[in-house]
Chain A
Amino acid sequence: MMDALLDGGLALSLPFLAWLVLHTEALSQAVVLFVAMGLMSALAWARLEAPDIALVEAAVGTGLTGALLMHTLSWTEETAPEAHTRATRWVWDILAASALTGVLGWAVLALPADSLGLGPEVTARLADSGVEHPVTAVLLNFRGYDTLLEIAVLLVAALGARAVNPRTERPSLETEDDPLTGELFRMMTPAVLLLAGYLVWVGAHGPGGAFQAGAILAGGGVVAILTTRLGTPRMSSRRVRWALLMGPLLFVAVAVAPLFRGGRLLEFPPHLAGTLIFVVELALTVTITLVLLMFFPGVRPPKVEREGTP
């Protein structure tokens, strides 16, 4: 009974919050509501027994994205939106949304009724994967290829973020000597490091792994950028480049190594699989942390004079 109430409340609050995010007048309110919606969806994932996704949603979807949005908000001059420009295209919006909902609904209904998916197969072969958690087994062993490509995509994304906003290459000098925030950072650092290390290690047995740990570390890094004189990691520095490449390079090395012994790409020898996966996850954590940090610009960009504005 209580569960049904909780789930019902969650299910109703998500679309309601989404509607509020789109319909608030003020940008700052929309950002706060977006963060609230992210927290609710993390709770929903937790209730759906998908703790991995809940962790990522809370850390990346809510924490980091919220920080990015807040940061962007401080660069904008908020003006009240013009109501009449918004109210003209809603017919097409409704049509498009209905079409999308229809297609998605049809896709769900077209699924075979009692298909178990690939779950049983993963469970049956779990012993060969070197880890005890099905999600980690799929991500880094059975479908390691996908994760390898994902890391490459993340690298490209970091390059893109730097290309769009190259002015953040200077270390930021906006922070002043502030005992309070520095103290907060000093108190937080050990806890953040411990939690990230635990998440990497626990990935072999339960929900956790490189992405979650990287997101937590990146969150700590954002606090560091905002409160200390570190500045954002600079692409021009050799150390940052090596750290960025550490995950992909190690992963490629581990993937290619079996080819020299007559094996196939990404074929881990079973007795080494657990160790290899752990080492790759550690390296990936470093890369993911830096990539996510690269998205966070440290310095206000210069004011851009738009045409038509005095």
Chain B
Amino acid sequence: MTLLNVISALFLLAGAGFCLAGTVGVLRFPDVYCRLHALTKVDNLGLGLVVVGLALEAGSWATALKLFLVWFFVLISSAFTCQLIARAALRRGVGAWGGSRES
């Protein structure tokens, strides 16, 4: 257990926590736009933290760079798909949540 291991584990745990929070958001949020928000933003941060944690353990710059490339492509694709899904929902007339919690 070196200091590097500890830092890496902290990053991994933080990433897992953010991913979990994103999933809870997807399951609990009231409308499609809020869910997309949780799914894309929080999960991207969670994945980024996991990638940092794994890159610290990777042992070589090449592997670390590949890991960051994975993250980069996920960021791009999730930004695009989020926008596309939200636009499709808007065009179908799915309204945003008005803020009244139904019991």
Chain A interface (Cβ within 8 Å of chain B)?
180-181, 184, 187, 191
Contacts and interface: CB of A to CB of B under 8 A. Distances in A.
A180 B84 contact: yes
Contacts of A180: 80, 83-84
Contacts, number: 10
A181 B83 CA distance: 10
Contacts of A184: 76-77, 80
Contacts of B73: 191
A141 to B, nearest CB: 31
A84 B77 CA distance: 42
Main SS of chain A's interface residues? helix
Contacts of A191: 73
Interface residues of B, number: 6
Nearest to A187: B76
A227 B83 CA distance: 14
Nearest to B73: A191
A24 to B, nearest CB: 17
Contacts of B77: 184
Contacts of A187: 76
Nearest to B69: A191
B2 to A, nearest CB: 19
A118 to B, nearest CB: 34
A180 B73 CA distance: 16
A191 B73 CA distance: 9
Given A180-B83, A181-B84, A191-B73, 7 more contacts: A180-B80, A180-B84, A181-B80, A184-B76, A184-B77, A184-B80, A187-B76
Nearest to B72: A191
A181 B85 CA distance: 12
Contacts of B84: 180-181
Contacts of B83: 180
10 contacts: A180-B80, A180-B83, A180-B84, A181-B80, A181-B84, A184-B76, A184-B77, A184-B80, A187-B76, A191-B73
A181 B79 CA distance: 11
Question: Which 6 pairs from chain A and chain B are nearest by CB?
Answer: A184-B80, A180-B83, A187-B76, A180-B80, A191-B73, A181-B84
A184 B84 CA distance: 11
Q: In the complex, which of the residues B73, B76, B77, B80 has the most CB atoms of chain A within 10 Å of its own CB atom?
A: B80
Contacts of B76: 184, 187
A140 B80 CA distance: 39
A113 B30 CA distance: 57
Nearest to A183: B80
A181 B80 CA distance: 8
Interface string B16-55: 0000000000000000000000000000000000000000
B50 to A, nearest CB: 15
Nearest to B80: A184
A287 to B, nearest CB: 27
Interface string B66-103: 00000001001100100110000000000000000000
A180 B88 CA distance: 13
A237 B83 CA distance: 35
Contacts of B80: 180-181, 184
